Amino acid sequence: MKEGPEGFSFRVQAAEGEFKNWYLAAEEIPKDREGAKRRLKLVRSKKQATEFEYVQTCYYVHHP
């Protein structure tokens, strides 16, 4: 029996143009600015890229 999220993770990479092969990253939010919105930026390194998660289905087990 499955329980929890099911989906996949991915990184966004430009496929063409001036920034071809660059990745999308979200800046870290300093602790003193909690609640602030993250800014997006382009980075060259895959290690610096933000890994996004897509949850396709979420399974719950109901216990009566």
Q: Convert the pLDDT of each residue in 36-61 to its tens digit.
A: 788 899 999 999 999 999 998 888 88
Please report, for the chain, the start and end positions of each structural domain, with discontinuous segments joined by +. Answer: 4-59
Which long-range contacts (C-beta less than 8 Å, at least 24 apart) are formed by 11-17? 11/46, 11/49, 11/50, 11/51, 11/52, 12/49, 12/50, 12/52, 13/49, 14/42
What whole-number distance in Å separates Cα of residue 40 and Cα of residue 17?
A: 18
- The model's confidence at residue 5, banded by pLDDT at 50, 70 and 90, is confident
Q: What are the residues whose beta carbons fall under 8 Å from the beta carbon of 11, sequence distance 6 or more? A: 23, 24, 46, 49, 50, 51, 52
Confidence of residue 24 (pLDDT cuts 50, 70, 90): very high
